[in-house]
Amino acid sequence: MKRAVLTLCAAAFAATTVGTAADAQSDYPSKPVRMIVDSAPGSATDVTARVIADRLSAIVKQPVVVNNHPGAGGSIAARLASQADPDGYTIYLGAASVFMALAGAPGVAPNLPVTLPRDFMPIGFVTQIPMFIAASPKAGIKSMPQLIERAKAAPGKLSYATTGRGRITHLTMEMVQMRAGIQLQMVPYTGGPSAALADLIEGRVDLVLDGYSSLAPGLKGGKLVPLANASTKRLPEFPDMPTVSETIPDFFAGGWNALLAPLGTPEAITRKLSEDLRTALSDKGVQAKLAATGAYVDPMTPEELTAFINEQQKSWKPVLEKVAKEAAAAGVKGGAAAKGKK
């Protein structure tokens, strides 16, 4: 009799618990949602996050608040997001570089790369950000062919500004060097291209690579010379700018952002977030705001996002192995480097 009563009580408790969890999910979200971003305010990823967060806030009828946690090549933000309660009230906008970095490699942030589904629950793809290569006016370089010609004539002399070792800007320029058979000097800036602009204008650094939003002030003001974009085709907004692939066949590299949730987040919540994200990305106003920064939407289901990330990690593996080997040989330890000069 006692066992029967205990069984009934346990069953009643389980039913209540399931019902409470179901009610919590159906009521989601009932309070503000935090979106963790691994970049500083004003960066390309931050701008994207704020555009998306603003539209999502209207869709879910709760504030979606952007929290910036830059540093350590993205590992600080990734760690904070992964350790958050898996209740749907913390989501994570990860940049491409946190999926590309080699875990434990010298010179690359620790605790990376992020892989799916090991580290996070996929929500959806947000934007692709084509990379733009530009030169200092004092470098005297007007095109990609000329850049390659100069670099081959003087290996290691031309320098380029990047947002840090292991970031997508660094990795993309490493791919350029591998594919073109050239050698450039990396100059990392923790503050991003804006911190390097003065050095570029004065000619202390020759080249820079980043998304359009970061380079727009310099490009529009004539302080930087546009060379090419690393997308698969010329962009409608920049029809006169060649692609890197016009010089280096089949070349493609770009930044991108994906929205993730901590492991253990209920699938019902991640599915709802995925649907809400797709709705936000379909908004013409959102698309226009992002296109103005050089970012282009590309909605994906959670399954498509996982497949995309796995494919990207495979294609970038040779570049990552080269970066790790060179960093180890140089005795570089983990973390993004501080600002340096030529």
CATH of the domain at 205: 3.40.190.10
Query: Do residues 78 and 92 touch, judged by C-beta distance below 8 A?
Result: yes
The pLDDT of residue 4 is 46
3 domain residue, yes or no: no
Residue 73 included in any domain: yes
Q: Are residues 206 and 108 in the same domain?
A: no
Alpha-carbon distance values, 296 to 49, 212, 293, 310 (Å): 13, 11, 9, 21
Averaged over successive runs of 10 residues, the pLDDT of the chain (342 residues) comes to 45 45 71 95 90 98 96 87 96 87 47 79 92 94 97 97 82 93 91 77 92 81 92 84 94 90 96 97 95 87 92 83 80 46 39
**Cα-Cα end-to-end distance for the chain:** 83
Residues 115 and 173 in one domain: no
Distance CA 59, CA 331 (A): 49
Among 210, 237, 253, the domain boundary falls at: 253
Question: Rounded distance, CA 115 to CA 279, Å?
Answer: 25
Tokens of 116: 């799916």
Residues 58 and 164 in one domain: no
Does residue 10 fall inside a structural domain? no
Domain closes at, from 253, 272, 303: 253
Is 144 buried (19+), middle (13-18) or exposed (0-12) by CB count in 10 A?
A: buried
Based on the fold, state whether residues 69 and 101 are members of the same structural domain: yes
Does residue 167 fall inside a structural domain? yes
Task: Please tell me the predicted confidence (pLDDT) of residue 42.
Answer: 86
Residue numbers of the domain that contains 158: 132-253
Instruction: Report the number of distinct structural domains present in the chain.
Output: 2
Domain presence at residue 297:
yes
Q: Report how far residue 87's alpha carbon sits from residue 270's, in angstroms, rounded to the nearest whole number.
A: 10
CB 252 within 8 A of CB 232: yes
Output the pLDDT for position 159. 97
Q: Of 253, 268, 288, which residue constitutes the final position of a domain?
A: 253
218 and 248 together in one domain: yes
CA distance 259 to 305: 9
Contacts of 60 (CB under 8 A, 6+ apart): 29, 33, 276
What is the maximum alpha-carbon separation in the chain? 91
CA distance 111 to 122: 18
| pLDDT value at residue 193 | 61
The pLDDT, as a whole number, for residue 325 is 83
Asked whether residue 1 is assigned to any structural domain, the reply reads no
Residues 112 and 143 in one domain: no
Residues 217 and 249 occupy one common structural domain: yes
| Burial bucket for residue 324 (CB in 10 Å: 0-12, 13-18, 19+) | buried
Same domain as 137, residue 79: no
Structural domain includes residue 319? yes
Residue 75 within a domain: yes
**Statement to judge: residues 58 and 203 lie in one domain:** no
